Amino acid sequence: MSVATAVAEQVLNGLVVGMVYVLLAAGLSIIFGVMDVINFAHGELFALGAYFAFAIAGPLGGAGFWVALVVAPLLVGVIGMAIERLTVKRLYGRDPLYHILLTFGLVLIINDLITSVWGKSAQPFPIPAALDQPIALFGFTYSMYNYAIIVIGSVLALGTWLLLSRTQFGMIIRAGSEDREMVRNLGINIDRYYTLTFGFGAALAGVAGIVLGAFQNVSPTMGNAVIIPAFVIVVLGGLGSFRGAVAGGLFVGLVQTLARTYTPFLEGLIVFLLMIVVLVVKPTGLFGTSIGAGEHHDGALLHGAGGGVLSSETRAKLGYAAVGVLVLVPFLAELTGVTYSVTLLEDILIWALFALSLDLVLGYAGLVSLGHTLFYGVGAYASVLTLIHISPSVFVALVVAVVVCAAIAWFVGYLSIRVSGVFFAMITLGFAELFYNAVFKFDFTGGSDGLFGVDVFYGLAGLGIDPGEFEIPLGLFVFDGGIVQYYFLLAMVVGSYLLARRLIRAPFGSVLQAIRESEDRASFIGYDVTAYKRRAFVVSGGLAGLAGGLFAANNGYVAPSFLHWINSGEVIVMTVLGGMGTLYGPMIGAGVFVAAEDILSSYIDQWQLVIGVLFVLFVIFVPRGLVSLPRTVADHPTFGSVVRDQTSVTETEVEQHD
């Protein structure tokens, strides 16, 4: 076989992959373009399409695939419309962050429903017999189904393009994405069109699921596997641009396939490198038109500050009390025998620190970082590598972790902070995924297993505490290495909180908050907005690195999962759950989240479903977070009337809610 045919075959392979990507990205892009909704549940709708098809095609036999190809997307479309009506609709006008959170919850719900109906194992979904054979064309044999993918993808892309550009439906949709109010003023019920568009986007995801399901298999993880690539394509092509989604999909498919063959080392990296380069050079993506795509929502980030019903003295007292309780926990745990609470608390403290670091950029500077686990993971790797190669001292390891992460944060910030909103979220995600895929490739990072068996020493130059040897009996208790570890962790977390508070109360913090409230006004006054944001990002990166470093030093290992994007998602959830824009809110959020997951997953098989439902309800009804609950409750009409009747009772009740 000649080189030319080999290249031609790989180009064809690239087109097949590209077409799959086009199918995946098209629906995502339309939904974003029209409604500004970043739909993380797109991957699950895609999986749902495959599963419906699997359920329909199985009993029907031969023609089943074709019936499923029509019926399953319609079903997914209906579900999409229901999702829009019941949940997404309530969030229009809010920052896209809330859509991310909402759809994050929907992912858990849909995924859990899929596994409870169809089980956890992969299921076979055969290619229809007519297409299931290799054919020889242009001098090489190739799967007929692959040609079919190209045909189906092209037809759908063309059809969608015609629908959007040549029909009245498309015209209204496009007008709605430009100026919703104007369309409404013309007497058109734009809400109905939004519902239809969401359903249409979901149906496209369903088609992609069927096509890809037959290409591979159907499994509960298939949605998770495609959602990040789908986002990359949409962002590369230009958020909200249908043309961009098509071009981006084909482009990524080709580049990825050719790179695979000719530069195998870049496998897994090249797509994210491309995305970062494109976003840095042209933040709107290849075909995007306005950077304002993410900005014509009028809603701001809803922070929890100012929602408290307690005076600042009371709050300070509560703070001291909380620290006091944390100091006493190991002893209480011993007395009650619930020693596991210390373990759980250590995890909570680390996540609290991580959430605090995110809050500095999210809650104060208004930057949605979707790749914050980059710093957490790199901090963990840096500290473990330091402990192995340089010094067993925890202090040295943590300093290295913080410095490395701050440096990376400066670099990432330098490249990305000038882009705002969704683009910033995506570029940080790109960097995090780049590092995630890179650690698999090197020996020094321990590949997919990670690095294990690290010894730590709490001191410098031989002076200090070796937690393995340390033991001081103290009456009934023994003060040993585990306790040293706990108090060290507690001190670091409380110290970081105080540092963050100092920063926020300093003029630096005021400027950040001014930027969050109105970036334009802050820059009119003469502040260098970008520089302030970048500084905040550096501090935040350093603190997240500290969190990762502490976890690694505490547990003696690091693994690639520390860099997985799901951590970034979870820490955003914690921050918003607690109430961003207050420093203690996200820490409370982390505590509630980690504890709830730990407890629920021990007792309920369907715990993901429960957590997902709680998210959705929370994002819709308590967007300002747990710290706003007392105010929300106090302001509620029913509760308000009780307050007026019995003023004396309220104070105690409100305090219980805090």
20 binds another protein (CB under 8 A): yes
The region of 32-40, 70-78, 343-351, 504-512 touching another protein under the rule CB under 8 A is: 343-351
Judged by CB under 8 A, the chain residues 497 through 556 that form the site for another protein are 551, 555-556
Our CB check for another protein shows the closer of 190 and 594 to be 594
| 106 vs 451 by CB, closer to another protein | 451
**Residues in 291-310 at the binding interface with another protein, rule: CB under 8 A:** none
Q: Tokens 């400027």 map to which residue?
A: 511
Q: Answer yes or no whether residue 591 interacts with another protein by CB under 8 A.
A: no
Please name which of 42, 48, 39 lies closest in space to residue 21, comparing C-alpha atoms. Answer: 42
- Of residues 187 and 473, the one with the C-beta less far from another protein: 473
Beta bridge partners of 472: 479
Of the candidates 62, 93, 124, 495, which one interacts with another protein according to CB under 8 A? 124
Burial of 442 (0-12, 13-18, 19+ CB in 10 A): exposed
For tokens 């759950």, name the residue: 577
Contact 594, 577 (CB under 8 A): no
Size of the site for another protein (CB under 8 A): 99
With H, G, I as helix, E, B as strand and everything else as coil, classify residue 614.
helix
Judged by CB, which is closer to another protein: 310, or 438?
Answer: 438
Burial of 131 (0-12, 13-18, 19+ CB in 10 A): middle
Encoded tokens for 314: 């009371």
Whether 35 and 219 have beta carbons less than 8 Å apart is answered as no
Nearer to another protein, 513 or 554 (CB): 554
561 near another protein, rule: CB under 8 A = yes
Choice from 145, 193, 194, 231 touching another protein (CB under 8 A): 145
Shortest approach of another protein to residue 109 CB, angstroms? 13
CB-nearer residue toward another protein: 385 or 404: 385
Are 245 and 29 in contact, with CB atoms under 8 Å apart?
A: yes
Residues 220-249 that bind another protein (CB under 8 A): 220-222, 225-226
In the region spanning residues 268 to 287, those forming contacts with another protein, defined by CB under 8 A, are 268
SS3 304: coil
Q: d(Cα 304, Cα 450) in Å, to the nearest integer?
A: 38
User: Which range in 30-38, 93-101, 164-172, 441-449 contacts another protein by CB under 8 A?
Assistant: 441-449
* Smallest gap from residue 141 Cβ to another protein (A): 5
Nearest distance from residue 8's CB to another protein, in Å? 10
Identified binder of another protein from the candidate list 452, 640, 641, 655, rule CB under 8 A: 452
Report the site for another protein in 459-488 (rule: CB under 8 A): 466-471, 473, 476-478, 480-485
Minimal distance in Å, beta carbon 654 to another protein?
34
Longest dimension (CA), the chain: 89
Give the three-class secondary structure for 147: helix
CB of 390 to another protein, least distance (A): 14
Q: What per-residue string of b and e applies to 75-93 under the rule 16 or more CB within 10 Å gives b?
A: bbbebbbebbeebbebbbe
Q: Which residues contact 63 (CB under 8 A, 6 or more apart)?
A: none
> Which burial class, exposed, middle or buried, applies to 626 when counting CB atoms under 10 A from its CB (0-12, 13-18, 19+)?
buried
Contact (CB, 8 A) for 68 and 210? yes
Query: Of 257 and 416, which CB lies nearer to another protein in the complex structure?
Result: 257
Q: Does 10 bind another protein (CB under 8 A)?
A: yes
Query: What secondary structure letter does DSSP report for 126?
Result: P
The answer to whether the beta carbons of residues 34 and 200 sit under 8 Å apart is: no
Nearer to another protein, 54 or 584 (CB): 54
**Nearest approach, Cβ of residue 478 and another protein (Å):** 4
Among 335, 390, 460, 617, binds another protein (CB under 8 A): 335
Closer Cβ to another protein, 134 or 640, answer by number = 134
Token pair 């192995």 is found at 388
| Cβ burial, residue 120 (10 Å; 0-12/13-18/19+) | exposed
Burial of 11 (0-12, 13-18, 19+ CB in 10 A): middle
Span of 191-199, 257-265, 497-505, 636-644 interacting with another protein by CB under 8 A: 257-265
Encoded one letter per residue, x for contact with another protein by CB under 8 A and - for no contact, window 153-192 reads: ----------------------------------------
Q: Closest separation between CB of residue 297 and another protein, Å?
A: 33
- The reply on whether position 257 binds another protein by CB under 8 A is yes
Query: Can residue 418 be called a binding residue for another protein (CB under 8 A)?
Result: no
Indicate the SS3 state at residue 567.
helix
For the bound state, the minimum distance from the C-beta of residue 13 to another protein, rounded and expressed in Å, comes to 4
Site for another protein, residues 366 to 405, rule: CB under 8 A: 388
**Binds another protein by CB under 8 A, chosen from 168, 602, 638, 656:** 602
Q: 3-state class of 119 per DSSP?
A: coil
Q: Is 444 in the site for another protein (CB under 8 A)?
A: yes
3-class SS of residue 152: helix
Task: Pick from 58, 82, 143, 150 the residue near another protein by CB under 8 A.
Answer: 143
Among 139, 295, 340, 460, binds another protein (CB under 8 A): 340
Which of 142, 169, 410, 639 touches another protein by CB under 8 A?
142
Pair 371, 565: CB distance under 8 Å: yes
| DSSP track, 367-400 | ---S-THHHHHHHHHHHHHHHHHT-SBHHHHHHH
Return the number of the residue (97 or 348) whose C-beta is nearest another protein. Answer: 348
What's the per-residue H, E or C state across 405-433? HHHHHHHHHHHHCCCCHHHHHHHHHHHHH
Minimum CB distance to another protein smaller for 20 or for 622: 20
Our CB check for another protein shows the closer of 223 and 308 to be 223
Binding residue (CB under 8 A) for another protein from 29, 39, 103, 146:
146
| Nearest to another protein of 54, 98 (CB atom) | 54
- Pick the binder of another protein from 85, 174, 282, 441 (CB under 8 A): 441
